[in-house]
Amino acid sequence: MRSEYERYREVTERALGRVKIAVPERSFLREVAEDFLRMAKAYFQDAEHFAEEGDYLRAVGAVYYAHAWLDAGARLGLFDVGEDEDLFTLYR
């Protein structure tokens, strides 16, 4: 379980570094994009906390949730991910 966590942690960390909010500052969806990113970061921090305590089951779950928030934001167009289909599930 530890190696699975470490693998997905690395992938999610790369994804966090890749996303940029694509929605204009004054758009209604800007707050939504910021919230998606905030949730992703919070789950990522939770994953690290669980891993530090040796709870790799919860760490894996939290890192999956973190990446899911990023993936959903990319697919909805909230984030610019540069058409990176290795880290994100894009529509086209």
Domain 2-80 has CATH 1.10.10.10: no
- Taking the C-alpha atoms of residue 52 and residue 86, their distance in angstroms, rounded to an integer, is 28
Distance CA 76, CA 90 (A): 9
Domains of the chain, residue spans: 2-80
Q: Dig out the tokens for 60 from the structure.
A: 């894996």
Alpha carbons 69 and 39: distance in angstroms, whole number: 7
At residue 92, the pLDDT reads 65
Structure tokens given for 85: 């289909």
The model's pTM is 0.92
Burial of 57 (0-12, 13-18, 19+ CB in 10 A): exposed
- Tens digit of each residue's pLDDT (9 = 90 or more) over 8-37: 999 999 999 999 999 999 999 999 999 999
